Amino acid sequence: MIELAFLISILIVCFFLLYILCRQDFVLLRQNISLSQILDTAGIAILFAFTMGRLLFIINNLEVSLLHAVRFFHLIKFPGISSLGFSLGGVFALWFLMRNKKGILRIFDIFSISFLPLYLFSLILRSYPSQIAIFLPAIVTIFLLALFIFFLKSHLMYILRDGSISLMLLLIVSVDTLLYEYLNMDRFIILFDLSSGQLLSIIFAASSIVFLFVNQRKLKV
């Protein structure tokens, strides 16, 4: 119940950040994208992201018992969700719902910043091997808090090109998934000692680096 209360609190914080960042954004106002439309999109995207995150966790760990109407949604009693799957599900849902909007890259960045606390929350609750469990959560927390401040400053001051923040976050989630699953001995091997999550991590980490470079290079053209 404590975890559920924290999760609800974090989601409230995420939606509040989303509200603050969207309320006075001139790009969204210029594209006639209303706040209610953004919030509705966020609700749908979270549901789809949860489904994809849960399914990738089930595939990675062969937890077929979770393919049950109650167990699938009961995170407190039956925990387990893939951060990469959650991120990819959210990206796909957001792209599908906003694909006709010219400000979609900025929308991706706004969602990335707003829901970064949820990613931090998932890392804090994650179980680590005993050798690194003492100091790693603290390091991760400090790193993500610094990253959140950097992303927020970059977004407000237009330091990075629209879309770069979301690409950077996808890169971090991909690398994190790749490394963490090496520490998780219960993962289901697919190819070359890699799980499905790790294979996807390599693909999307490489893609994020390429697209980030291309996106930032546009500033010099």
Helix (H, G, I), strand (E, B) or coil at 183: helix
Position 221 scores a pLDDT of 43
Given the DSSP bridges, would you call strands 189-191 and 194-195 parallel, antiparallel or unpaired? antiparallel
Position 12 scores a pLDDT of 93
Q: Which of 173, 175, 171 is nearest to 215 (CA)?
A: 171
For residues 80 and 63, the answer to whether their CB atoms sit within 8 Å is yes
Q: Which two tokens stand for residue 73?
A: 């949604």
Question: Containing H/E element for 182?
Answer: helix 164-183
Position 70 scores a pLDDT of 79
Position 97 scores a pLDDT of 92
What is the spatial distance between Cα 116 and Cα 110, in angstroms, rounded to a whole number? 10
Position 1 scores a pLDDT of 61
Position 166 scores a pLDDT of 95
For residues 45 and 90, the answer to whether their CB atoms sit within 8 Å is yes
What is the spatial distance between Cα 147 and Cα 138, in angstroms, rounded to a whole number? 14
Q: Which two tokens stand for residue 149?
A: 């401040």
* 85 Cβ contact list (under 8 Å, min separation 6): 49, 52, 53, 54, 55, 56, 57, 197
Position 64 scores a pLDDT of 80
Tens digit of each residue's pLDDT, the chain (221 residues): 676 778 889 999 999 999 999 987 888 888 888 888 999 999 999 999 999 999 988 888 778 888 887 788 877 777 788 899 999 999 999 999 998 888 899 999 999 999 999 998 888 777 766 666 567 777 888 888 999 999 999 998 888 899 999 999 999 999 988 888 777 656 666 666 777 778 889 999 999 999 999 988 865 54
Count of CA atoms in the C-beta half-sphere (13 A) of 24: 4
Domain boundaries, the chain: 2-220
Position 190 scores a pLDDT of 60
Q: What is the pTM of this model?
A: 0.88
For residues 207 and 173, the answer to whether their CB atoms sit within 8 Å is no
Residue type present at position 85: G
What is the spatial distance between Cα 162 and Cα 94, in angstroms, rounded to a whole number? 15
Residue 188 DSSP code: P
* 144 Cβ contact list (under 8 Å, min separation 6): 116, 119, 120, 123
